[in-house]
Structure 1
């Protein structure tokens, strides 16, 4: 997978948590200690934002963009602005992308998407994914 595709995939995983944290706490998300009442996504967003800010590059700009997102709620332009800033940081430093990726929880496997999974639109025969299976079609 190319770096561009990896960054896009990582952004798709990071942004919901970051947006949830900004939405839940507004600008306070930048300094608020973890709260037991906060959901797992919000806490993850807090940790991701804290790590992004500790990175140092453009921290003030990221803070301003988080504040803007918090003030504008679901505004797609504000969300896109924060995504672009995080995307730039990830593209500029692949090692940083690895650090953020390591902070994400393991994603459970989605049924039907494993190595031996089968996706069928139209079938007139046998479909088998078992080891050593013998399939005989009688007509």
Structure 2
């Protein structure tokens, strides 16, 4: 007996990622539920990324950093990761200050420079 696969690519809805909206101050008790929510979204959708809309999170300081670090850890343990949507500039600066790097929605992945971009060489320096 032979199996003939259907023509074309399998259906994957990459245009609608799993989204978790974070709003208002989040307590320690709510953090556990949100971590469970990230794991459930990853399992239910089969996606490798959950987008966390942090626009309504507000200025929480290190509480927001702790929450996002825990969400990222829960996502990594489930085989995925989180991507931030609409972070406040102060939150982005604080994440950078404590050394946490999150992928932001709408930014290209930071692996290699785009094609056609060359580094500038000072006059008199040998080209590498």
More helix by percentage = 1
Q: Which has the larger radius of gyration?
A: 1
With normalisation by structure 2, the TM-score equals 0.30
More strand by percentage = 2
With normalisation by structure 1, the TM-score equals 0.29
